[in-house]
A = this chain, B = another copy of it.
Amino acid sequence: TLVGASERPFRLLSLGHVRDAVEPGSAEGEAIPGDATQRDALAELLWSGRPALPVKDADGKALGRVTVEGLVKRAARPQ
């Protein structure tokens, strides 16, 4: 039976920072800090039902956006 991945994709995302998953473009709503984890960003995206969130650095400067689609790709087993 196919129930094996369990925590692995979420753990993988918890090792990466949002700043390393930033894509060009803007998004609506409150920004997530670049030093949050990619797992935190996915959780916020899912919970809020939004496809993208703006990302800001520690000084509040806009860095771009993070997307469900981008994080889904980053959660895959490394090849």
Contacts and interface: CB of A to CB of B under 8 A. Distances in A.
A43 B6 CA distance: 6
A28 interface: no
Q: How many copies does the complex hold?
A: 2
Nearest to A30: B2
A1 B33 contact: yes
Nearest to A40: B3
Contact of A77 (B36, B47, B72): B47
A9 B73 contact: no
8 contacts: A3-B36, A3-B40, A4-B44, A5-B40, A5-B46, A8-B43, A9-B47, A48-B76
A73 B44 contact: no
